[in-house]
Amino acid sequence: MVGESDFLGIKLTGAGTRVTEALSRGDELPQQFTEAMDAIAQAASAKGNRIWIDAEQQVLQHSIDRVTIDLMRRYNTNGRALIYNTLQAYLKESRPKLVRQLKLSQEEGWTLAIKLVRGAYINNDIRERIHDTKEQTDDSYNGIVSDLLTGTVPGIAPNFPHMALFLAGHNAESIAKASNLVRNLAEQGRLKTIPEFGQLQGMADELGCRLLQFSEEMEHDGISSAGNPVAPKVYKCLTWGTIQDRPSSCTMSQRSSVKAPEPGCYVPAVTFFKPQTDELDLAAQAKYFAYLANTGLKGLVVLGTNAETFLLTREERKALLVTARAAVPKGFPIIAGVGGHSTRQVLEYIEDAREAGSDYVLLLPCAYFGKATTPAVVKAFFDQVAQASALPIVLYNFPAVCNGLDLDSDLIGEIARQNPKIVGVKLTCGSVAKIVRLAAMFKPDRFAVFGGQADFLLGGLAVGSAGCIAAFANAAPRSVAKVFELQKDGKQQEALALQKVLSLAESSTKPGIAAVKYAAAVVTAPRAGISNASRLLEPRRPYDAPTAAVKSRIERDLKDVARLEDGGQMNGGLTQARLYTHRNLTISESVYAASPRSERRRVANSKRAQHSSRRMSPNPKGSTPGLLPRNNSIDRSLHPTTSPQTSGAAQPPCASSPPADWSPQAERRAQDEEDPESGSHSPNYGEKDQVTYPEGGLEAWLVVLGSFLGMTASFGYMNTIGIYEAYLNTNQLSDYEQSTTGWVFSLYIFLSFFCGVQIGPIFDAKGPRLLVLSGSILLLLSIFLMGVCTVGWAWATRIQGFIFLGLLIGANLLIKSRLPPKPGGSVLPDFKIFRQPAFLLATIGTYFLEWGLFVPITYLVSYALQTGAMTEAFSFQLIAIFNAGSSLGRWAPGYLADKFGRYNTMIATTIGCMTSSLGLWLPAAVLTVQGDPSDSTIKSLTITYAVIMGFSSGSNISLTPVCVGMLCDTEEYGRYYATCYTIVSFGTLTGVPIAGAIISACGGAYWGVATWTGLCYVCALAAFCAVRVINAGWKLNVLY
């Protein structure tokens, strides 16, 4: 089917869950996959085919690039391009990535082959990494095309390397620009790369025809470039196989634009079992699915908790999903429950759901181990799943089945913001306040908030919910859907009247899943044409059907609902009510008829509203209704929880104890009209949605306070080295040259930077306590040892030590870890990356920055004392003035860099350091030698220098990590930064002694050291400008 010179497109995640997980983590890929790719490449090479490796989401793309580049190294040799990498022009990193790959191919001697597209994952990728406007994306695409056709990519040597280019796109303007440029350059003999063009089959066919005509005209006119004929080939991209197995490119493009589930009511369908064999009754199940899809409900949830998913095998789960997809109309949304105990298990379930044709998945947090499931574990779990998931995800918050784990709105919001594939949440925690907050955080088409029960559907809609995923929709699908429809149409009174009927009727199903299934058997299953429904809907063994008393109550309470489902009229609960047919419902002047029984329900609801469930931690005593005791054991974890308010996700056995809902006592409580719902998890409508550490609140601010105390004692101390330099050179070390004493301070700074690159891994493995404690001990030891002196500031130093003691006690008490230990390897430097000119120059620039930075910090006080223009007391205050400017300088880049560009801002602040050193400190130092020592000009120049140099150097320090990060992929940042500062730390080691030697060589004058500082910044400026030119060109208006 694929002929010579044709392309074969490969999407690496199509290889399955194991490969997707490895790509998301950056691990080595399975050997079987590597062997398969080699076999495909070799077969394609033998037949003269070529291979595209498709681009995917950003969380995977770094690994995909790594795999593709390795394949290009091995197969794109001798001037031939077999493997093509895909470049997405809508990403801000597209041009730097292209430059890196061109340089790599040029250095290593293989052919780079690129398929250029605009991009297809705008709703999955991190938005900040995508160009802000369509115009910027157009400029990016067109600019890359122009640079590759003309061979003028910034940073690439004049001998532009041979490469292959495929231009994929449906934008007529871009394709016209590219084709015209091809012709013009070819006629001038300047065409460096002959492109090929392509579109998806069935899309922009007129554009493909114009390109064919253009190619034929080029061939007819005999246009060539450097003696080679130029007639670009034109391709159409098609796929084959079934829609389910091989989604067409159009379908894949649609799925890449992930949106939240549509607003409405969804039903978590119950499961039918054959009573004799306990096997799935898929025939009855198909009828049931088909009926529900035609009741006005918006979608179907398969494998929810009410489906008894925790009692199903993996094969049975797959069978239910396949049955559902076949039974419901095309395009009817299916949400598959995929709850499990581990990331790997969940990803397997998601893959099954995708293969079965599901549209979304519903996912509980993994909470099997209760207390060990910290916020960090929860966030890591959802992040890992979202990165590797082939389907969009709706979170599921149901504390009663997750060891009391209740996700607060801040955590849910943070997880969703960082993972575009997470598009909604189902809240079966009873908190309307949580619905309000989450609805306020997101646009409805980005993130949908669903209530988890039908009895507060209308209340949720009033505050911004998208609808509900409600177990009671199994018993009253048309009525539940009708409440949503009435509210949407603005018929508030009618919606409220119907809501009250449903809320009263739903209370009879509260004892558990068995009660919900019996309600479905009484009302819905017969209307779906299913006979013997009460037997087919008995719970799976070993659990029992409801008692006769519970069944009797369900039958009694659902009589009115059954009439509503059939278009009949209500008796009792509503007066003066005209009820709906299947197509229309009007309820006018409806009045709720309170009865003694309904009043007792109201009181019971009021009592339940006083209960609360814990946020983000299991209930330690199991006292909250519906929650589980903590003395659970493994065998008890196999028992299901049975609240019918659950509804959407595949329920793993993470609720670790047999809940009271299924016990005979619970069923007897269900007969007691004083508190008919006491056997289930109780919603708390008035409860404040507490934010727990580390997401905010007092505990988080205390950690911030502890960090402030620690930083004051550590970096605050480092920034006073100029005071100690002046003190020691005046007293204890007065007999030594400054070039010698400089090593005391430079060694201190060097060790801070050189050893600092390994602090991160120690923190990951051990947490902060060990680091803070050991650092505190060493810092206090050094202070008090310095206080053992007979000349100078003995007691001043000791007093400072006691101040630091208080600060560090506070730091040790308040600083806590927000993450569990995560042992890992060291972040070791990798000097091979200095082959990249931009990174080499950035490291050189940073080296010169640090070489010059600590010179004024160390010697400014000594200089001021030497001038005689300032008092001794004021001279020592210069460090405080310098640090005040630095504080502002560290804050400013956060606002300026994104607006003007990170390297642009770095260059500007480096100019500030350079000009202040040469234009302020140097003249002041010269005046000190030549002028009046009391000259106020010297004082003014020195103070101004301290402010400007402090501000500019503070900005440099804030921007350095960002500028390094711009030269690498995010996943490689630790390696790049460690490599950079391993070298730069030697600048901090030698800078101060060199400056001291210069002072000595100048006879104690400081004009030489001021010149030295300025020249360091001149060199840093040159290096940073070179980085900018390499990656962004010479144009001054480029944001870089």
- What residue spans of 833-901 are helical by DSSP H? 837-867, 872-891, 893-900
pLDDT band at 862 (very low <50, low <70, confident <90, very high): confident
pLDDT band at 143 (very low <50, low <70, confident <90, very high): very high
Higher pLDDT, 356 or 616: 356
**Is the backbone peptide bond immediately before 694 cis, with ω within 30 degrees of 0?**
yes
Q: Residue 259 CB: number of other CB atoms within 10 A?
A: 15
Give the Cα separation of 481 and 366 in Å (integer).
Answer: 31
Report, as an integer, the average pLDDT of 700-726.
77
Report, as an integer, the average pLDDT of 468-473.
95
Single pTM value for the model: 0.41
Q: Strand, coil or helix: what is 88?
A: strand
Tokens found for residue 573: 């609960």
- Please state, in angstroms and as integers, the Cα–Cα distance from residue 949 to each residue in 244, 770, 835, 1006, following that order: 64, 36, 33, 16
Give the Cα separation of 881 and 140 in Å (integer).
Answer: 45
The whole-number pLDDT of residue 691 equals 35
pLDDT band at 883 (very low <50, low <70, confident <90, very high): confident
In the predicted structure, residue 309 carries a pLDDT above the cut 90:
yes
The whole-number pLDDT of residue 765 equals 66
Q: Strand, coil or helix: what is 85?
A: strand
Residue 364 and residue 385 in contact, taking contact as beta carbons nearer than 8 Å = no
The whole-number pLDDT of residue 521 equals 95
The whole-number pLDDT of residue 954 equals 87
Rg, C-alpha atoms of the chain: 35
The length of the chain, given as a count of residues: 1040
In the predicted structure, residue 396 carries a pLDDT above the cut 90:
yes
Give the Cα separation of 168 and 198 in Å (integer).
Answer: 5
Residue 984 and residue 753 in contact, taking contact as beta carbons nearer than 8 Å = yes
In the chain, the amino acid numbered 426 is K
Tokens found for residue 179: 């084709």
**C-alpha of 915 from chain center:** 41
The whole-number pLDDT of residue 995 equals 86
Over the stretch 66-118, which tens digit does the pLDDT of each residue have? 999 999 999 999 989 999 999 999 999 999 999 999 999 988 999 999 999 99
Identify which of 214-223, 317-326, 811-820 has the greatest average pLDDT: 317-326
The whole-number pLDDT of residue 891 equals 81
Identify which of 246-255, 586-595, 947-956 has the greatest average pLDDT: 947-956
The residues that bridge with 50 in the sheet, in sequence order, are 7
Over the stretch 548-584, which tens digit does the pLDDT of each residue have? 889 989 999 898 888 889 875 544 444 333 333 333 3
Name the least confident of 39-53, 391-405, 448-462, 725-739: 725-739
- Please state, in angstroms and as integers, the Cα–Cα distance from residue 978 to each residue in 658, 834, 843, 848, 981, following that order: 52, 12, 11, 17, 5
The whole-number pLDDT of residue 1004 equals 84
In the predicted structure, residue 935 carries a pLDDT above the cut 90:
no
Give the Cα separation of 465 and 211 in Å (integer).
Answer: 49
Over the stretch 673-708, which tens digit does the pLDDT of each residue have? 333 333 333 333 233 333 333 445 677 788 889 888
Report, as an integer, the average pLDDT of 908-937.
85
* 164: CB partners within 8 A, 6+ apart: 81, 84, 111, 112, 113, 114, 193
In the chain, the amino acid numbered 751 is L
Name the least confident of 43-52, 542-551, 923-932: 923-932
In the predicted structure, residue 731 carries a pLDDT above the cut 70:
no
In the predicted structure, residue 486 carries a pLDDT above the cut 90:
yes
In the predicted structure, residue 735 carries a pLDDT above the cut 50:
yes
- Please state, in angstroms and as integers, the Cα–Cα distance from residue 456 to each residue in 95, 480, 498, 742, following that order: 51, 11, 12, 72
The whole-number pLDDT of residue 657 equals 36
The whole-number pLDDT of residue 613 equals 33
Give the Cα separation of 852 and 29 in Å (integer).
Answer: 45
Give the Cα separation of 285 and 291 in Å (integer).
Answer: 10
The residues that bridge with 200 in the sheet, in sequence order, are 237
- What residue spans of 445-592 are helical by DSSP H? 457-462, 477-488, 492-506, 513-522, 524-527, 533-536, 548-557, 559-565
Could you please report the per-residue DSSP string of 644-680? TT--SS---TTS-S--GGGSHHHHHHHT-TTSTTTTS
Helical packing angle, 837-867 and 922-930, nearest 10°: 30
**Cβ-based burial of 315 (10 A; exposed 0-12, middle 13-18, buried ≥19):** exposed
In the predicted structure, residue 666 carries a pLDDT above the cut 60:
no
Report, as an integer, the average pLDDT of 626-636.
30
pLDDT band at 947 (very low <50, low <70, confident <90, very high): very high
Report, as an integer, the average pLDDT of 339-353.
93
Q: Which residue segments constitute the domains of the chain, with CATH numbers given?
A: 7-168 (3.20.20.220), 264-569 (3.20.20.70), 696-735+768-816 (no CATH), 832-1039 (1.20.1250.20)
Higher pLDDT, 274 or 155: 274
In the chain, the amino acid numbered 702 is L
In the predicted structure, residue 406 carries a pLDDT above the cut 80:
yes
Report, as an integer, the average pLDDT of 373-402.
91
Tokens found for residue 933: 């020592």
Angle at 1010 between CA 1009 and CA 1015, to 5 degrees: 95
Tokens found for residue 608: 């339940």
The whole-number pLDDT of residue 981 equals 81
Higher pLDDT, 669 or 450: 450
Which one is catalytic: 97, 298, 426, 939? 426
The whole-number pLDDT of residue 727 equals 67
In the predicted structure, residue 635 carries a pLDDT above the cut 50:
no
Mean pLDDT of the chain: 79
In the predicted structure, residue 516 carries a pLDDT above the cut 90:
yes
Strands 591-592 and 574-575, by their bridges, are: antiparallel
Give the Cα separation of 429 and 434 in Å (integer).
Answer: 9
pLDDT band at 877 (very low <50, low <70, confident <90, very high): confident
Report, as an integer, the average pLDDT of 610-614.
34
Report, as an integer, the average pLDDT of 521-529.
94
Report, as an integer, the average pLDDT of 990-1011.
88
Instruction: Say what percent of the chain tops pLDDT 70.
Output: 78
Over the stretch 277-298, which tens digit does the pLDDT of each residue have? 999 999 999 999 999 999 999 9
The whole-number pLDDT of residue 227 equals 65
The whole-number pLDDT of residue 241 equals 56
The whole-number pLDDT of residue 638 equals 27
Count the helices and strands in the chain (H runs, E runs). 38, 19
In the predicted structure, residue 426 carries a pLDDT above the cut 50:
yes
pLDDT band at 303 (very low <50, low <70, confident <90, very high): very high
Over the stretch 784-820, which tens digit does the pLDDT of each residue have? 887 676 666 677 778 888 898 999 899 899 888 765 5
The whole-number pLDDT of residue 707 equals 86
Give the Cα separation of 428 and 528 in Å (integer).
Answer: 28
Residue 637 and residue 391 in contact, taking contact as beta carbons nearer than 8 Å = no
The whole-number pLDDT of residue 593 equals 28
Give the Cα separation of 952 and 959 in Å (integer).
Answer: 11
CA dihedral angle for residue 307, residue 308, residue 310, residue 314, rounded to 10 degrees: -60
Residues 63-96 as b/e (b if ≥16 CB within 10 A, e otherwise) read bbbbbbbebbeebbeeeebbbbbbbbbbbbbbbb
Residue 147 and residue 116 in contact, taking contact as beta carbons nearer than 8 Å = no
The whole-number pLDDT of residue 695 equals 47
The whole-number pLDDT of residue 821 equals 61
The residues that bridge with 335 in the sheet, in sequence order, are 301, 360
Name the least confident of 395-409, 580-594, 805-819: 580-594
Angle at 386 between CA 380 and CA 390, to 5 degrees: 150
- Please state, in angstroms and as integers, the Cα–Cα distance from residue 470 to each residue in 268, 473, 656, following that order: 7, 6, 23
Residue 426 annotated to the active site? yes
Tokens found for residue 338: 């995929």
Residues 187-221 as b/e (b if ≥16 CB within 10 A, e otherwise) read eeeebbbbbbbbbbeeebeebbebbeebbeebeee
Report, as an integer, the average pLDDT of 626-646.
30
Ramachandran region, residue 357 (left: φ > 0; alpha: ψ -120 to 50; beta: rest): left
Higher pLDDT, 124 or 891: 891
Q: For tokens 């000259």, what's the residue?
A: 935
DSSP 300: E
The whole-number pLDDT of residue 222 equals 81
Q: Strand, coil or helix: what is 200?
A: strand
Residue 405 and residue 617 in contact, taking contact as beta carbons nearer than 8 Å = yes
Give the Cα separation of 655 and 396 in Å (integer).
Answer: 14
In the predicted structure, residue 623 carries a pLDDT above the cut 70:
no
**Is the backbone peptide bond immediately before 158 cis, with ω within 30 degrees of 0?**
no
Name the least confident of 399-413, 429-443, 475-489, 601-615: 601-615
The whole-number pLDDT of residue 659 equals 38
Strands 83-88 and 448-451, by their bridges, are: unpaired
pLDDT band at 128 (very low <50, low <70, confident <90, very high): confident
Name the least confident of 201-215, 559-573, 592-606, 805-819: 592-606
The whole-number pLDDT of residue 251 equals 37
Report, as an integer, the average pLDDT of 725-735.
68
